[in-house]
Amino acid sequence: MALIIPKKYKQKLLPETTEIAIKTIKDTFQAKLSAALCLRRVTAPLFVLSGTGINDDLNGVEHAVSFNIACMDSRRAEVVHSLAKWKRMKLGAYDIAPGYGLYTDMNAIRTFEDLDNLHSLYVDQWDWEQTIRREDRNLDYLKSTVEKIYRALRETEAKIFADFPHITPRLPEKVTFVHSEELLQQYPDLSSKEREAKVAERYGAVFIIGIGNPLSNGEPHDGRAPDYDDWITLNEDGFYGLNGDLILWDNILEVPFELSSMGIRVSEESLKAQLAARGCEDRLQLNFHKALVNGELPYSIGGGIGQSRLCMYLLQKAHIGEVQASIWPEEQYELCRAKGILLM
């Protein structure tokens, strides 16, 4: 996505007040999320050892920032992309019962991102994971969880409106569910991102189910690594996938706004099938994958929710740099400043 400069953009809050509002959003939402999904907060690592299979591979092609550890015979460590697998291991280590889970503050560095209104080198999100029973691995449980998260979002938006009444709420009352294959059938001549834009603008908030498995045109809606979300299982609607993305419509930038990726995690069977589909069966020798296949990890559902993105959306900002301190190209910084978009 190229840098977008909205016409007639005006900040709703000055930078100093924005800092106060950011804290309000983060304090409010994580309390709402924790209560809605029965989650407890845990401390998470910034980096993990390479070669263990614990780090999130995202779309399977991105490279993590890595470094040698001098006092450990120069073993290699890498900054996490997210904590999808680490959280599932922690559920098992803490023996957390079904229906309960954990959340944490995840910080990452993604050097491969193209920097624009929504993308930064620095990623901060609430990573959460909940233990479930095998029989909970279904579409109804996924949708119910999404609806709980969405209610927490709307309640946080209401809190911001109470504190800053000139920031008018814009989230619709309900989130709409649609499968990526249904979108393809509705808009066969559009790209996946164009389809997202169409459905997000129509409904305001949409959860697109089925991210990772090839659709009827032979292409996946978007990429997913093969070893955390389950995208290969045939669900009750007759489509593939027990995962998805929560997309909002941002009427300031006039673009679809991805806030969260989440899903029911792979079972022993779906892990093997997805690794085979991607030609990654060698990963079965890694620690995480061996533990999962051996039945040593609980079934779970989980995801990540962007902290800076949520602040940007609820405070109706035009650039993620207005709510997050990071590094931006000098020309982008100057162009934004000239248009009244003040980057931290």
Band of pLDDT at residue 181, cut at 50, 70 and 90: very high
d(CA 149, CA 143): 10
Which of the two residues, 32 and 57, has the higher pLDDT score?
Answer: 32
Residue of 184, 145, 181, 288 whose CA lies nearest to 226: 288
Band of pLDDT at residue 51, cut at 50, 70 and 90: confident
Q: What is the pLDDT of residue 112?
A: 79
pLDDT value at 1 more than 70: no
Please, are residues 132 and 199 in contact by the beta-carbon 8 Å criterion?
no
Sheet containing strand 255-264, edge to edge, reads 39-41, 101-109, 122-131, 300-306, 255-264, 243-250, 205-209, 176-179
Active site residues: 56, 110, 125, 245, 258, 261
Q: What is the pLDDT of residue 109?
A: 87
Mind listing the domains of the chain with CATH numbers? 15-338 (3.30.930.10)
Q: What is the pLDDT of residue 113?
A: 79
The CB-based long-range contact list for 290-294 (8 Å cut-off, 24+ gap) reads: 291/89, 291/92, 292/88, 292/266, 292/268, 293/268
Band of pLDDT at residue 151, cut at 50, 70 and 90: very high
Summary mean pLDDT of the chain: 93
Q: What is the pLDDT of residue 62?
A: 67
pTM for this structure? Answer: 0.93
* pLDDT tens readout for residues 280-299: 999 999 889 999 999 999 99
Place of tokens 């809605």: 36
Lowest mean pLDDT segment, chosen from 45-49, 214-218, 240-244, 275-279? 45-49
Q: For residue 13, count CB atoms less than 10 angstroms from its CB and return exposed for 0-12, middle for 13-18, buried for 19 or more.
A: buried
Distance of CA 105 to the CA centre of its chain: 13
Please report, rounded to a whole number, the percentage of residues in the chain having pLDDT higher than 90.
Answer: 79
Lowest mean pLDDT segment, chosen from 71-85, 116-130, 173-187? 71-85
CA angle 149, 151, 155 (to 5 degrees): 120
Helix axes 139-163, 307-314, angle to 10 degrees: 50
Instruction: Look at strands 39-41 and 101-109 and give their pairing.
Output: parallel
Q: Which amino acid is at 270?
A: S
